[in-house]
Structure 1
Amino acid sequence: MGTHVIKMPDIGEGIAEVELSQWHVKVGDLVVEDQVLADVMTDKAMVDIPSPVHGKVIALGGQPGEVMAVGSVLISIEVEGAGNLKESAAPAPAKEAPVAPKVEAVVESKPAAAAPRPAAVCQGPMVAREADERPLASPAVRKHALDLGIQLRLVRGTGPAGRVLHEDLDAYLAQGQSNASAPVAAAYAQRNDEEQIQVIGMRRKIAQRMQDATQRAAHFSYVEEIDVTAIEELRAHLNEKHGASRGKLTLLPFLVRALVVALRDFPQMNARYDDEAQVITRLGAVHVGVATQSDVGLMVPVVRHAEARSLWDCAAEISRLATAARNGKASRDELSGSTITLTSLGALGGIVSTPVLNLPEVAIVGVNKIVERPMVVKGQVVIRKMMNLSSSFDHRVVDGMDAALFIQAIRGLLEQPATLFVE
């Protein structure tokens, strides 16, 4: 038997060190070729590290949250044959990570309510743990248990290393351990528990970028109300006529189109500002970042060359990128290079927001929710669909008047949707 050492790979782009975000294996696990061993985080994206060999994990080279240099020992695997380890390169046993680390970055998606549950889940309904013992579970599972009024320490985990899964919560309820009154009783029970969550991986990158943006840019926000009745009628008509063959349209591709048209008259908004070199770069290509919420945090996949896309092409690309981001499959290229950002929380968009710039961009357009309100039109009170745009700009390079005119131009395009397509 020999030892195969896997070192932190050179991911490119001149990156000298990366953050170890999450282990998918532990010491003692048997692994196969191409199995994902760990996730590492660069400045732009999460990267999977696969195994090039079959074997048994004998040492881990770091802890989640640790910043590791390219070329440092990531993991050691016992393999048949000689392996690739030189005696001087043996990793120190002290670097082994514990089998069950307290803080985890594992995120599991909640299964559909109607999905059948595997028979393997139907084990003993309850497991006894010490009162202070913290069972392994993802943040999503912990929230689900809290919503159901279930004490997680009482649930038998069927996942790796005894991890509690969504299916285990459902099995616990199905076995009659939590009757109809249990969630109500638990909701009023006194609680003294605490949970510490280490800020690592994507959450750390988001925190750093948001802090950097608010410290470096001179933010100012501008809010404008828009009547979207006409464009919503157009969207409904197009979906009825072409939805089955071309796909359904949301409001987002119309907003992207409005950005593209408005930027022809306001090129200073489609720019990046290098504040160290004191250089503003205006770009002809419109690469729209579409802020997307994922289980690991906010990500901004990029619709490239939006100026050259039709409504349906843009809609398909937004859908593809959003799915990739939510599944953690978006590449570094798909998460970088935007020139202006569009952010929306859909039905949760609220009335007003103050979005944070996606540096080095100088403008971000925020979309709030659509509401029906009585409005006065030509002396008559009518019900209209209204929506606010809450947008932020970098006042170091964008004047307030220009920002207002830019948003007013978008308003005009959306309220008279035919103008979106008039060249």
Structure 2
Amino acid sequence: MRRFVFKLPDIGEGISEAEIVAWHVAVGDRVEEDQQLADMMTDKATVEMESPVAGTVVELAGEVGDQVSIGAALVVIETDADEGDGAIEPSLETIDDIAPGDLPVEETRAEEVEAQFEAETPGVEAVLEPFPSPAKQEEAPAPSPTRAHVLASPAVRARAADLGIDLASVKSDGDRIRHADLDAYLRYGTGQGYHAPHASHARADETIKVIGMRRRIAENMAASKRAIPHFTYVDEIDVTALEEMRADLNANRGARPKLTMLPLLIAAICKTIPAFPMINARYDDEAGVVTRHGSVHLGMATQTDAGLMVPVIRDAQDRNVWQLATEIGRLAEAARTGKAKSEELSGSTLTITSLGPLGGIATTPVINRPEVAIIGPNKIVERPVFAKNNQGGDEIRRAKLMNLSISCDHRVVDGWDAASFVQALKKYLETPVLLFAD
């Protein structure tokens, strides 16, 4: 019997440590070769750690939420291999004896890391995280049968039945139960057998450790708000013509993917960016350098069960609306199923975040640091608007309107630049035929 230390391998360029987000074994468990031991999260992705040997787990490096340095001991496994039999791979360090508690565990620390999981999203979407399912509520006990000799009108009896009140327990100064007696019972009575209709019930407090993706989101959002002086500009856009064009394109799409608003908006953004290079940029505040990117690598804030992730559409400016729709669907599915690769979750130069059907009147999204801007479309609503008719007179027509928000880093982007960018973007969205013009 020998003990071997499985050290945390180098699992990503520039990664110095990883967080334990899940253990799949416990001390005393028998493990086989290639069996999953733990899930480790870096700044970019979650990596599964597998056992290179068979044996019994005798020690684990810390608890879920702890940080472990690259090269530090992660798991100690006691194998059946005899010394010198060659059963152990060279990458494992052989040790003769490890006393319990000798494994070094790095103290958890919060660092300002490059925001790869975006935003709301960065953004408002960060508050839409799913909460744990509420505990099952107790059902209100059925009312006891009312004794026949209790006198009350049919209306009082019906009300008591709806409230679950046993009329026999209600006191009255007269010869029969009246509504005032029910009111007094509700106000001062003991409440035997009574539950207010549709009343909420208290549930136990829960303590949830902030680890894994939720910790990364918390760190990134805090770093963004702490380091970046945000400002948000909101404008209203008439998307009536855009929605009509989208419906026509979908009706005649053939085998091409169905278009949502998002690929059309991305196409408009890509056409607008060349005149406003300060929007498609990243700011290295430590080096004091702003890089204005020629290509639009668009981050797309995506809500997943694990939290907010930001897959990146590479070279969005080179894709047509149907190619954008295909890539949006592929990346969103990869993010939601946990299959997105590390390179698909990093390198964005500008982010877009949308609450989808939840909409909202206006949002103030949080910038996906080190980017300098994030765009947030809001829900589309139908409202009457005043317009000029062909004769130059006023008329009222139905219009589909959408508010568009943009949050910017005021160290890099001036308010005039942000407003001018949105106005130029508005031109493409309100005259959508320009999206297909050279």
Distance 1:411 1:27, change over 3 A: same
Conserved 8 A contact 1:59-1:91:
no
Structure with more of its chain in helix, by fraction: 1
Q: Which amino acid aligns with 2:205?
A: E
Which one of the candidate residues 247, 257, 262 is aligned to 2:272? 262
Distance 1:76 1:218, change over 3 A: same
Aligned to 1:171: none
Aligned to 1:403: 418
Which one of the candidate residues 209, 218, 237 is aligned to 2:220? 209
Structure 1 moving runs of 4+ over 6 Å? 94-97, 184-187
The Cα RMSD (Å) is 2.6
Aligned to 2:408: 393
Does residue 87 in structure 1 map to residue 95 in structure 2?
A: yes
Which one of the candidate residues 311, 315, 319 is aligned to 2:325? 315
The Cα shift of 1:189 comes to: 6.0
Conserved 8 A contact 1:219-1:393:
yes
The Cα shift of 1:217 comes to: 1.0
Aligned to 2:137: 149
Which one of the candidate residues 402, 412, 422 is aligned to 2:427? 412
Q: Distance in 2 between matches of 1:256 and 1:73?
A: 46
Q: Distance in 1 between matches of 2:228 and 2:337?
A: 31
Q: Which amino acid aligns with 1:296?
A: A
Conserved 8 A contact 1:2-1:85:
no
Q: Distance in 2 between matches of 1:340 and 1:209?
A: 16
Which one of the candidate residues 322, 326, 339 is aligned to 2:336? 326
Conserved 8 A contact 1:61-1:91:
no
Aligned to 2:114: none
Aligned to 1:51: 51
The Cα shift of 1:333 comes to: 0.9
Q: Distance in 2 between matches of 1:47 and 1:269?
A: 33
Which one of the candidate residues 238, 255, 258 is aligned to 1:245? 255
Aligned to 1:351: 361
Percent of aligned pairs with the same amino acid? 52
The Cα shift of 1:267 comes to: 0.9
Which one of the candidate residues 310, 331, 334 is aligned to 1:300? 310
Distance 1:8 1:408, change over 3 A: same
The Cα shift of 1:48 comes to: 2.1
Aligned to 1:21: 21
Q: 1:20-77 CA deviation, whole Å, 9 max, x = no partner?
A: 1222333344444444322212122222223334444333212111111111111233
Distance 1:59 1:356, change over 3 A: same
The Cα shift of 1:187 comes to: 6.6
TM-score normalised by length of structure 1: 0.76
Name the SS of the counterpart of 2:252 in structure 1. helix
The Cα shift of 1:272 comes to: 0.7
TM-score normalised by length of structure 2: 0.73
Conserved 8 A contact 1:224-1:389:
yes
Distance 1:224 1:32, change over 3 A: farther
User: 5+ unaligned residues in a row in structure 1: which ranges?
Assistant: 98-138, 152-183
Distance 1:60 1:6, change over 3 A: same
Aligned to 2:123: none
Q: Which amino acid aligns with 1:228?
A: V
Q: Which amino acid aligns with 2:207?
A: Q
Q: Which amino acid aligns with 2:430?
A: E
Q: 1:79-111 CA deviation, whole Å, 9 max, x = no partner?
A: 4424455235636368799xxxxxxxxxxxxxx
Name the SS of the counterpart of 1:245 in structure 2. coil
The Cα shift of 1:241 comes to: 1.5
Aligned to 2:294: 284
Q: Decide which moves more: 14-23 or 346-355.
A: 14-23
Q: Distance in 2 between matches of 1:78 and 1:377?
A: 80
The Cα shift of 1:4 comes to: 4.5
Conserved 8 A contact 1:76-1:91:
no
